[in-house]
Amino acid sequence: MQDRGFTPTQLAARAAYLLRGNDLGVMTSAAPKLYPHMWSWDAAFVAVGLAPLSVERAVVELDTLLSAQWRNGMIPHIVFANGVDGYFPGPARWEVNRLAANAPETAQTSGITQPPVHAIAVQRILDHSRRHGRSTRAVADAFLDRRWPDLMRWHRWLARARDLDGNGRIALYHGWESGMDNSPRWDAAYANVIADAVPAYRREDLVHVTDPGQRPSDGEYARYLWLLEEMKRVRYDDDELATAMSFAVEDVFVSAVFALSCEVLADIGEDCSKPRADIRDLREWSDRFRRGVVDTTDPRSGAAKDFDLRDGRWVATDTLAMFAPLLCGGLDRPVERVLLRTFDGPKFCGHPDLRYALPPSTSPVSADFRPREYWRGPVWPVMTWLFSWAFARRGWAERANALRAEGLRQAADGSFAEYYEPFTGEPLGSMQQSWTAAAVLDWLG
Please identify every residue annotated as catalytic.
181, 418
* DSSP sequence for 85-113: ---SS-HHHH-HHHH-TTS-SS--B-S--
CA distance 414 to 433: 11
DSSP codes of every residue in 383-396: HHHHHHHHHHHTT-
Describe the crossing of helices 55-67 and 118-129 by its angle, rounded to 10 degrees. Answer: 150
First to last CA, the chain: 15
CA distance 402 to 358: 9
Angle at the Cα of 316 (from 311 to 321), degrees rounded to 5? 115
Q: How far apart are CA 200 and CA 198, in angstroms?
A: 6
The span from the CA of 401 to the CA of 244, in Å, is: 45
Angle ∠(230,232,237) on CA atoms, nearest 5: 95
Q: How far apart are CA 181 and CA 144, in angstroms?
A: 31
Residue 28's SS3 state is: strand
Rounded Cα distance between 149 and 344, Å, is 40
Distance from C-alpha of 89 to C-alpha of 393, rounded to nearest angstrom:
37
- Number of residues that make up the chain: 445
Decide: 321 and 380 in contact? Cβ < 8 Å. Answer: no
Cβ atoms 37, 118 nearer than 8 A: no
Pairing of strands 38-39, 306-308: unpaired
